[in-house]
Homo-oligomer: A and B are copies of this chain.
Amino acid sequence: MNKTPQKTVERLIQYRRIVQQMRDAGQEKVFSHQIARVSGASPAQIRRDLMGVGYSGSPAHGYIIHDLLQGIYEFLGLTEKKGACIVGLGSLGRAILGYFHEQNPVLKIKAAFDTDPAKTGIVFHGTLCHPASDMASVIRDKEITVAILTVPVEQAQQAAQQLVYAGIRGILNYAPVVLDIRPDIFVENRDMIQAVEKVAYFSK
């Protein structure tokens, strides 16, 4: 089903952001080499990635930005309906929540969860913080499919299990631990220390 390579999906998401900025700047058409210049990918790569999307440009004027965006959008399955939640409103969790609030992306954070009674019941950046024990019902009611996990590392495995039980389909994990959960749940790990180490390695 998900035959499109992860790399391609990542780039499509990036193209969308880039092309959206061009549209916001008043541009109406775009060529693959223009996207290439700012994304770092080659023009051929971009055309190939776009093959799967189902929208075709024209040799005469390139891609009509409006239609291209629509195409990528639909391909990625980003709709208003889909929603995310964030688990753990510590310093990182609140920073991410603030970022989503100011950027206002299509995929919204519809709910937050924390175990700390001092945080539950409070609205942070427009999002209500629920007690973690309400996870299952809130996730079901709001039709939330993905979760951002920003709890302390000792709590991460347990919180992930709770999320899976609540019916979540994918987790973006910021805790530095490898989650041991069902293989049909998509997990993406993001560790900032690992990221810095990677940059350090390639900064020779």
A199 contacts B by Cβ under 8 Å: yes
Q: A2-B204, A105-B193 are in contact. Are A92 and B82 (CB under 8 A)?
A: no
* Min C-beta distance of A160 to chain B, whole Å: 13
Query: Using Cβ atoms and an 8 Å threshold, which residues of chain B touch A46?
Result: none
Q: A14-B194, A194-B17 are in contact. Are A170 and B9 (CB under 8 A)?
A: no
* Min C-beta distance of A54 to chain B, whole Å: 15
The stretch of A62-70, A93-101, A130-138 in contact with B is: A93-101
Query: Using Cβ atoms and an 8 Å threshold, which residues of chain B touch A195?
Result: 172, 188, 190
The number of times this chain is found in the oligomer is: 2
Partner of A77, one of B17, B91, B188, B200: B200
User: Using a Cβ–Cβ cut-off of 8 Å, how many residues does chain A contribute to the interface with B?
Assistant: 57
A195 to B146, CA, bound (A): 11
Query: Using Cβ atoms and an 8 Å threshold, which residues of chain B touch A198?
Result: 6, 9-10, 13, 188
Which residues 124-153 in A have Cβ within 8 Å of B in the complex?
A: 145-146, 148
Q: Please, what's the 1-or-0 string for A75-103, where 1 marks a CB less than 8 Å from any CB in chain B?
A: 01110001010000011101110111001
Q: A103-B176, A190-B190 are in contact. Are A76 and B1 (CB under 8 A)?
A: no
A58 contacts B by Cβ under 8 Å: no
Chain A residues within CB distance 8 Å of chain B = 1-2, 6, 9-10, 13-14, 17-18, 38-40, 76-78, 82, 84, 90-92, 94-96, 98-100, 103, 105, 107, 145-146, 148, 169-172, 176, 178, 180, 185-186, 188, 190-204
In the complex, the 3 A-B pairs of residues with the closest C-beta atoms, listed nearest first: A170-B203, A169-B203, A91-B95
